[in-house]
Amino acid sequence: MFEGIQIVALNDSGEVEATLRALLVDVLGLSKDRVDSFNEETELFGALPELDSMAVATLLTGLEDRLGMLIEDDDVEAEDFMTFGRLVAFARRKALI
């Protein structure tokens, strides 16, 4: 079912953040160094041209696949993609429940 995809242990919030950083590199085509420099206040949606609506959909699918979770449409708010910190909080909230 998840052939070739590594699912992380969902009891480790650090793993959730690392998985999210890897997804941003993979989905947006950003350099690892650039994504590694992101902090809680780093603006994403609206600030990164690579993060358009199609990339958001791909990112959500990647989170579901790599973290083994289900994201419903009403779970997602635009504010969750405004900063890296908010996106990490969203991913942790969904992955660690």
Whole-angstrom Cα Rg for the chain = 12
CA distances from 31 to 11, 40, 81 (A): 27, 18, 19
Closest CA to 48 of 57, 61, 35, 60: 35
Query: Residue 70 has which token pair?
Result: 């289900």
CATH of domain 14-95: 1.10.1200.10
CA distances from 42 to 48, 70, 75 (A): 10, 26, 22
Each residue's pLDDT tens digit in the chain (97 positions)?
344 544 444 456 688 999 999 999 999 999 999 999 999 999 999 999 999 999 999 999 999 999 888 999 899 999 999 999 999 999 999 886 6
Residue 63: in which H helix or E strand, if any? Answer: helix 53-67
CB atoms within 10 A of CB 41: 9
Amino acid at site 49: P
